[in-house]
Structures are given as C-alpha cells and as structure tokens.
Amino acid sequence: MDSITQAALGAAIGGTVLGRRLGRKAVLVGAVLGTLPDLDVVIDYGDAVANVTEHRGFSHSLFVLAGLAIALALLSRRFAPARDISLRRWGLFFGLILLTHPLLDALTTYGTQLWWPLDMRPAAWPVVFIIDPIYSLPLLVGVGVALATGRAHRAPTWGLALSCAYLVFAVGAKQLVEARIAPVLAEQGLQQAPRLVQPTPFNTLLWRVTVADGKYHHEALVGVFDGDRSPGLETYTRGADLEETALDSARGRRLEWFAGPFLRYETRQLDGRETLVATDLRLGFPGFHPFAFTLATRDDGDWQPVETSEQLSSSSRNNRDALARLGFRILSPEPPLCTSEFVPRHWLISTSGRC
C-alpha cells in the first residue's frame, strides 16, 4: 500500500494498543514505525530491474521485522519512562505495527518478500489496489481524531475495525468474481492456466482477471454488480517467441522470478537500436503498464544483454479517459468496456463475448 496508508495503519495500531497509556505518543510512534519498511525505496541498486525487484525485500521480511520488534520491546522495557508497561505489551505494540506493514502489502499485486532471505517468490494475494481511499479513510479519520482530541484509543480502534471489515468485504468480492469467471475459463479450457484476479484502481467493485496461456494472455473485467452477465475474454499475444532470449539474461530471469508467467515481451526501436523489452502485465492496467524494462539489444543479428536496464514509461496518454470509463463500468456492465480500447490493436488476437 502507499506510505500514507501504512503510516495511518501503524498509528491506528499504536493508539489501539497503547493509546490509553501513552496518548498521542503511541499514535505518533506508530505512524513513524508503520512507514519504516518503505524507506528501502531510497536505495539505488544501479539498475531498473534491481530497483523494482529488490523493493519490498529485506525491509519487509517477517524475520527481520520480528527481530526488530523484539529488540525495540526489550529496549523500551529497559529504558522507557513508562515503567508500568510490561514487556509483553511492548512486544505487542512493536510487533503489530511492524509486521502488519508487509502483510498488508502482500494483499496487493506487487509482491512482498515476506520470507527473505529464503529463496521464495514474493507473496501476493491481491484483494486491494495499492491505493484504496475506502480502506485508508477510516484509519486517517481515527488517527486525526486521536491527535486532535488527545484521546488516542477509541477513535483509532474504530478506524482499524472498519478498515479490517473492508478487507473482509474485499475477500468476499474476490470470491464472487472467481465464481463468475470460472465457467468462462472452463469453456475455453483454461481452468488450470495461471490466473491473477485483482481489483482495478481505487476500488474493490470492479476486478481485472489476467490469465497466462503459453503464447497468449487473456484479460477480462468482472464487476460485483454485473449480475448474471457472462464475462468476455480478450486474447493478446504475449511475445513468447522472445522469452527464451529474455531468460538468457540475469535480469530476464530475475523478472521471471518476480512476475512469474505474467510478462509480455516485444521489441522496440530505442535510440536507433532494436531493443528487447519485458513488461510486467500484473501491475497497472492494459495500456497503462508502468513497469517495462529493457533487457537486450540486437547487434549484427545477435542479442546482447544491456549493461544497465532502464524502466520505460507507458506510451498511452489517455489515463483520465480510462479512469473515467472504469468509473462508469464499476456500477454497470453497460455500455461494455474492453481493455483492448487502450492498447495497440496489433496486440489483440481475439475477443469472446461482450467485454
């Protein structure tokens, strides 16, 4: 999630656990510690692929943060002026604030390395978009009331309860979407294909389904309010003929570890050279994928890995129009909205049903 939300979550937990004893201090300390893991963004690894795939790494490890929580609890029990607070209470305070940060991040699509340094793929169980005002607002209101009134327990607790209830709703909405898309995938023989079901920007009422299928990937939009309307699938080329070349490079293998099968490969002319580009299909929205990386250039017929990978911006400029269209689509499946409206037409292979 965004850092403001993470700070609000930490502040709300701080107020809930120690607000009665420490007042505003519990809220403020919680806000600082709640955003602490995100400070890894200031680290420059010298390469675009490394910067993206190392984010949410060691600083989001449950092992690292649990150790830090224990150390802070021991130090606070020994040196904090509030001598009546038990070690168990300090441990609960620091542990919940620090550990909920990566756990909330894991409920988004990006991927969080919860088990670093173990060699495991980043965890991602997306039920909320990386920025969701409905989740964040109760936390912010609760924290704001606590800071304004000095009563730092009740309002943060209510804010935390409402935000947790929203996550429960999001899980239920995702299950509904999964049930609606399952017959469509079965009809296409895609029951076992890797799929990603995630909310579209800023809401949990309209969901995007992405299915990886060898040379192709499929996209569908499914809304909570779609009723009995059967979702349509749009099929796109994935550029799989370039995958072997991409995986010949260390950066290509790192991206495959990070994003799994949800990568598209293509060639672009950049600075007068034919360049192999990999795009993470999970993040953003068709036509607005923010994570595209240069991997290799072709010289005299042979592909050579780039010395330093670069992150390329999305070529589409219709962001406001797309968000407006998505906003209307949230409440009704009519008029239909197709993801292919926002991407180059030559990527589209076929469309089944109405978008």
The pLDDT value recorded for residue 344 is 84
**Residues recorded for the chain:** 355
Q: In this structure, are 232 and 159 located in the same domain?
A: no
CA–CA separation, 252 and 29 (whole Å): 40
Which is it for strands 233-237 and 263-270: parallel, antiparallel or unpaired?
Answer: unpaired
Q: Is residue 199 part of a domain?
A: yes
224: phi then psi, degrees, rounded to nearest 5: -60, -35
When divided into structural domains, the chain yields a total of 2
Amino acid letter at 120? M
Q: In this structure, are 228 and 137 located in the same domain?
A: no
The pLDDT value recorded for residue 233 is 94
Which is it for strands 292-299 and 302-305: parallel, antiparallel or unpaired?
Answer: antiparallel
Structural domain that includes position 217: 188-355
CA–CA separation, 227 and 332 (whole Å): 9
Q: Is residue 126 part of a domain?
A: yes
CA–CA separation, 109 and 224 (whole Å): 19
Q: In this structure, are 85 and 213 located in the same domain?
A: no
The pLDDT value recorded for residue 316 is 54
The pLDDT value recorded for residue 241 is 95
Q: In this structure, are 97 and 131 located in the same domain?
A: yes
- Which two three-digit tokens encode residue 333? 């499946």
| pTM listed for this prediction | 0.94
CB 27 within 8 A of CB 19: yes
Q: In this structure, are 243 and 165 located in the same domain?
A: no
Q: 34-91, pLDDT tens digit by residue? A: 999 999 999 999 999 999 999 999 999 999 999 999 999 999 999 999 999 999 999 9
Q: In this structure, are 255 and 345 located in the same domain?
A: yes
The pLDDT value recorded for residue 43 is 96
The pLDDT value recorded for residue 51 is 97
Q: In this structure, are 18 and 158 located in the same domain?
A: yes
Q: In this structure, are 82 and 204 located in the same domain?
A: no
Q: Which residues, including other chains, have CB under 8 Å from residue 165's CB and lie 6 or more apart?
A: none
The pLDDT value recorded for residue 278 is 98
216: phi then psi, degrees, rounded to nearest 5: -125, 165
Among 171, 198, 216, the domain boundary falls at 171
Per-block mean pLDDT, blocks of 10 residues, the chain (355 long): 97 98 97 97 96 97 98 96 95 98 98 96 97 98 97 97 98 97 96 97 96 95 93 94 96 96 96 95 91 94 93 71 89 88 87 82
Sign of the CA dihedral with 66 first, then 71, 75, and 78 last:
positive
204: phi then psi, degrees, rounded to nearest 5: -125, 25
